[in-house]
Amino acid sequence: MGFSKTMMPSKLQLLAVLAFAVAMLLIENQIQKLEESRARLERTIARHQLAEVEQRHSEDLGRESPPLAEKDDMVIIYNRVPKTASTSFTNIAYDLCGKNRFHVLHINTTKNNPVMSIQDQVRFVWNVTSWREMKPGFYHGHVAYLDFSKYGVQGKPMYINVVRDPIERLVSYYYFLRFGDNYRPGLRRRKQGDKKTFDECVSSGRSDCAPEKLWLQIPFFCGHHSECWDAGSRWALEQAKYNLVNEYLLVGVMEELEDFIMILEAALPRFFKGATELYRTGKKSHLRKTSEKKPPSKETIATLQQSDIWKMENEFYEFALEQFQFVRAHAVREKDGELYVLAQSFFYEKIYPKVS
């Protein structure tokens, strides 16, 4: 009898634990359903807004509109790579758009999927090139490079981007999924509750920190070809390099973000006039910082550096860095520890026929 009495509290405790676990599962399920409902609502609103825009465009086709001034008929696409200071830079655009009179639009893809369906590619290209009300426009989002020339439209946007050391980018993303950042600290992240450090993840061979997770900057620049997303593809690496040199106005590196902003302001004052000063003095200069981030050990870095995927991603990063430093060397000079933009260094002469 005494034995059964001592067992009763244990059974009650077990039932209580089970009940609590079931309750938590139900709550998690309800949260997931609410998030899915919110996502469906956002997509419905977006489709409705797009339909209104398309209707206005259709109505405008019957009327002849005056051409936009050249400086206003401009579109910039910043197909931002995750965890490369993209939020900090984008907030500068949001802060400047009112004063400099341009529009900023976020490309919000379902589940942040960087690859668009073929029908969405056509819709997006058509919207960007024909949406007069949103020009000049600055579009930003986690979307792979899209070659506008293959869709039969007139005019191409200017692409810009920023890259980061591939291991540092992955480490930042790893902790971001678990602890979030100081931008939205209360938001529940996908891997919240997982306390493993990045070192522990690598040493135990988990998929979250596998070399394949390094494969991101190359496909973002490579684009929407299937092989772009084949981790370790030499073709994808070479295509990404080609696009960086031939299709992007400027690609900076996160480690030298201020120089990137300074050159953009010099090249495109229509958008970025005042950006350098805002970055240096504004409250949003380093808006987003990943929480609880621990630097990886030398052993962890050495392990990742053994993979061919790291070697390719690092080769692309070094290539981008070299290109940026070349551009910077011809755009700015240093004096007394400060960088300044070079003045115009060309002029026209021997102009014929002479104007009487």
Single out the catalytic residue among 48, 103, 106, 140.
140
> Is residue 140 annotated as part of the catalytic site, yes or no?
yes
Token pair 């291991």 in the structure block, residue: 167
Rounded distance between C-alpha atoms, residue 20 and residue 81, angstroms: 40
Mention every residue, 6+ apart, whose C-beta is less than 8 A from residue 243. 145, 221, 222, 223
Q: Which long-range contacts (CB under 8 A, 24 or more apart) does 350-353 make?
A: none
Mention every residue, 6+ apart, whose C-beta is less than 8 A from residue 90. 78, 80, 104, 140
Record the tokens describing residue 143, joined without a space: 């979307």
Q: Is 225 exposed, middle or buried (0-12, 13-18, 19+ CB in 10 A)?
A: middle
Rounded distance between C-alpha atoms, residue 10 and residue 7, angstroms: 5
> In this structure, are residues 142 and 112 in contact, taking their beta carbons and an 8 Å threshold?
yes
Token pair 């979250």 in the structure block, residue: 208
**Three-state SS for 343?**
coil
The DSSP H or E segment spanning 129 is helix 118-130
Single out the catalytic residue among 103, 106, 142, 225.
142
Token pair 């495109």 in the structure block, residue: 268
* 252 phi and psi angles, rounded to 5 deg: -100, 180
E strands within the chain? 75-78, 103-106, 137-140, 158-163, 248-253, 332-335, 338-341
Record the tokens describing residue 12, joined without a space: 């009650």
Cite the DSSP H helix spans in 63-104: 86-100
> Is residue 48 annotated as part of the catalytic site, yes or no?
no
Mention every residue, 6+ apart, whose C-beta is less than 8 A from residue 88. 257, 284, 285, 286, 287, 288
Q: Which positions are annotated as active-site residues?
A: 140, 142
